[in-house]
A and B are shown apart, each in its own frame.
Chain A
Amino acid sequence: MGYGRTVVLKEVTLRINQGEFWCFLGPNGEGKTTLIKGLLGAIRPRQGRIQLRRDFAKGKRVGFVPQECELNPSAPTTVREFILSGLVGLPIPSNVRRKRLERLLELINLKHKINSNFWQLSGGQRQRALVARALIRDPLLLIVDEPTAGLDLGAANNVLNMIQSLSQEFNITIGFVTHDLQIAARHASHAALFRNGTITSGPMETVFIDEHLTRTFGVPIEVTRTDSGKTHVTIKTITEKAGMDILSAQDETNADPKNQPPTTHDNNIISSLTDKGGPH
């Protein structure tokens, strides 16, 4: 899978089941966004296949929150119209449309901005509007591409908490692209690590370990887990004077452990979203 003559992802096997919160982790340019473009149908694999549930393949129950708003600034839009644009392609009656909009505006706390120009919103408000536009489709799969990039700590936290609560309350499957190990440690149930065109994937406790993270990011990373299931992530760098120096703070998580072995790069690209019995 790639662009033009450039191959970005090769030898990838990934299986995602309903209700899982996946974090796609890896340095820039390793294919995280390429994979989600594949899942969205924007690019097709040259070999292998992406198997999606039928309504996912038609884009009906899939929501997408991009890294940043790629909205054309020349196109005027209000918050209301922006969120409603997420319903394109779905035959939704106007009363249902209106109810969904009202519910989401309350959820993201933007009811007072309904008729405001989208471009006059703050970064955090725009990001919440992007989440609302994805959710108005009533998705079963929500693909989120670094939604907290460029947001302040408070705004980022709000967005993350909203996404995690959606995953838990409505059993929505989340595919979350991020560089941030702290976010993954705190929220994800599964992780996929991108490196050199391959993916190492599986439940957090089997994939989110020192060895895999260090290999993926190229810096020494230490992961410790407490008896209560909390995870500490420590990123270390070697400095000239002090030797091993701890740079990054720690974080904790209550990630639900599942003892499954990590899946590591098989032959062809087969990223499949499947339920327990069959395609999800």
Chain B
Amino acid sequence: MIGEFIESWPLFWQTYIASILMALVMSWLGVLVVTRNQVFIAAAIAQASLFGLALSLFMGFTYPILLVLLMSITSSILIGSGSHVANNTSEERTSWVFLLASCGSVLLLANQPNGLRQLQSAMASTIIGVTDIDVWLFAAFSIIALILVLALHRPLALLIADPVMAISVGMRFGLWILIISVSLGIVTGLAIRSSGMLFTFGCLVLPALAARNFCKEIRTMFLISPIVATSSVILGLLIAHSRDLPPGQTIVVIQAVVLLCSWIWKEIRTSLALSLSNIS
């Protein structure tokens, strides 16, 4: 299996490398999303990106990526940074964006069979089609994300865990949330364009959810989440190649299995801790 995979390297190296790099970046952002209890923000942003794609197809726009990015960044800021105009919650805004973007994109292309097919193809995962640009782009994102995580893991953890305390120690909460939202919008939008909604959503939430079950601190989640993400991508690519399966779906299924294992692990660990405390 591994021999065959290595043989396919010259043909698909962009796909393999880009998938790993995307998973890496998404897994770090996923920690911020999951620990802020905003799992569905990813689905809403992904759907908003598809709305941008549908809009560009509808308008015959030459550069669909611009509208995809515009929609994903706008939706991310709208949901993540919050709007106090009507005292609505993050969940309400997430639902609103998700439903409007889902229906809007289909309605826009309802009379364009070709456009609708492109939209459906983007909703499924097609990581085979990534380009050299995707590789370089996500390599740059990975390096930036790594530096930020290494330098700022503790302030980030405080920001997520206790915003009031973060403000009291002088952190500019609004600015930080805006930066996180914009980053999430850019990365999600670009990842969806390159790899589809399923792979992007999966890599954003599943490794971080698994890491939360394995870890006792946010700090270590920043280490475990990328390990889960990249190893599941490598394993998924190997299996998909040898069994001739779609790689995006295979990777997401593996990540879902890892999450299941992490739930079991957490349950066992909690039971053991309770038993030990009862004995002592």
Q: Does B158 contact A (CB under 8 A)?
A: yes
Whole-angstrom CA separation of A42 from B34 in the bound complex:
25
Whole-angstrom CA separation of A77 from B170 in the bound complex:
21
Interface residues of A (CB under 8 A from B): 4, 40-42, 58-60, 62, 64, 66, 69-72, 74-78, 81, 84-89, 115, 117, 120, 133, 137, 143
Whole-angstrom CA separation of A4 from B83 in the bound complex:
12
Contact B168 A72 (CB under 8 A): no
Closest to B217 in A: A81
Residues of A within 8 A of B169 (CB): 59, 62, 86, 88-89, 137
Contact B217 A76 (CB under 8 A): yes
Choose among B34, B37, B154, B273 the residue that contacts A84 (Cβ–Cβ < 8 A). Answer: B154
Contact A74 B164 (CB under 8 A): no
Contact B161 A58 (CB under 8 A): no
Q: A53 CB to closest chain B CB, in angstroms?
A: 14
Contact A85 B165 (CB under 8 A): yes
B interface residues, how many (CB within 8 angstroms): 29
Q: Known: A66-B164, A81-B157, A84-B154. Is A74-B171 also a contact (CB below 8 A)?
A: no
Choose among A4, A60, A74, A78 the residue that contacts B84 (Cβ–Cβ < 8 A). Answer: A4
What is the predominant secondary structure among interface residues of chain A facing chain B? loop
Contact A70 B162 (CB under 8 A): yes
Residues of B within 8 A of A72 (CB): 35-37, 160-162
Closest to A69 in B: B162
Residues of B within 8 A of A71 (CB): 161-162
Q: A40-B168, A71-B162 are in contact. List 10 more A-B contacts (CB 8 A).
A: A59-B168, A64-B164, A74-B34, A75-B161, A76-B218, A77-B217, A88-B158, A88-B169, A88-B171, A137-B169
Contact A41 B216 (CB under 8 A): no
Q: A32 CB to closest chain B CB, in angstroms?
A: 15
Contact A88 B36 (CB under 8 A): no
Residues of B within 8 A of A117 (CB): 216
Contact B36 A74 (CB under 8 A): yes
Closest to A36 in B: B168
Residues of B within 8 A of A60 (CB): 170
